[in-house]
Amino acid sequence: MDYTSNPLATDQDDLTAVLNEDRYARTLANIARRAERLWEDGYTCRQSFQGTFVEAYDVFTPRGERYMVKITPTPKDPFLGDKCTCPSFSKYGECKHHLALQFKLRDEAQAAAYDALEEAEGEWGCDPHHQQPPGEGEGIGKQEKRRHN
Ligand SMILES: [Zn+2]
C-alpha cells in the first residue's frame, strides 16, 4: 500500500498541524494571561541596560529568580531580536516576562504621551504651579477630566 497517496494520512497530517497550531495559540494565550498579572503576582523588574538600539531588564520572580530580558526595536531580527533567558522563551519564542515588560513599556509610553497632552492643555489655564484659591471650581473640573481618561 502506498501511504504517500493515502488521503487519510494527509488528513491526519493536516489535523496534527492544526492541533499543533491550536496548542501553540493556546500556549501564547496562556503566556499573555500570565503576563497581564505578572507585576500583581509579585514579580519586579529593573532596567539593567539602556542603549540606542537595545534595552535590557532584569525580571525577578517572587522567589528571587532572575531572568534577563532584552528589548529591541526590531523584534523579528534573529540577531538583534528580543530575548529572555527563561525556558519558555527558548521553547516558544515568547514568555510572560518579555510580554509583561512590553505591556509595561507600552503603558508607560501611553502615560508619557498623556502627560505631554496634559501639559499642552496647561496653556488653557491648568498650570499646576498656580495656587488655586480654595473653593474655585476649576480644580474640581480638572480632577474629573483626569478620572475619565
Ligand atoms: Zn522569560
Q: What is the pLDDT of residues 23-39, one digit of tens each?
A: 999 999 999 999 999 99
Number of domains in the chain: 1
Q: How far away, in angstroms, is 93 Cα from ligand 1 center?
A: 9
Q: Decide if 132 is inside a domain.
A: no
Angle at 43 between CA 41 and CA 46, to 5 degrees: 150
Q: Tens digit of pLDDT for each residue in 51-94?
A: 888 899 999 999 999 999 999 876 555 556 889 999 999 999 99
Q: How far away, in angstroms, is 38 Cα from ligand 1 center?
A: 11
DSSP type of residue 32: H
Q: Decide if 64 is inside a domain.
A: yes
Q: Decide if 129 is inside a domain.
A: no
Considering only residues 127 and 21, tell me which one the structure prediction assigns the higher pLDDT: 21
Q: How confident is the model at residue 145 (pLDDT cuts 50, 70, 90)?
A: very low
Residues facing residue 56 across a β-bridge? 49, 70
Q: Decide if 75 is inside a domain.
A: yes
Using CA atoms, how far apart are residues 114 and 145, in angstroms rounded to an integer?
A: 12
Range of the domain at 50: 11-121
Q: How far away, in angstroms, is 83 Cα from ligand 1 center?
A: 8
Q: How far away, in angstroms, is 61 Cα from ligand 1 center?
A: 10
Q: How far away, in angstroms, is 88 Cα from ligand 1 center?
A: 6
Q: Decide if 136 is inside a domain.
A: no
Indicate whether this model's pTM tops 0.75: no
Q: Decide if 140 is inside a domain.
A: no
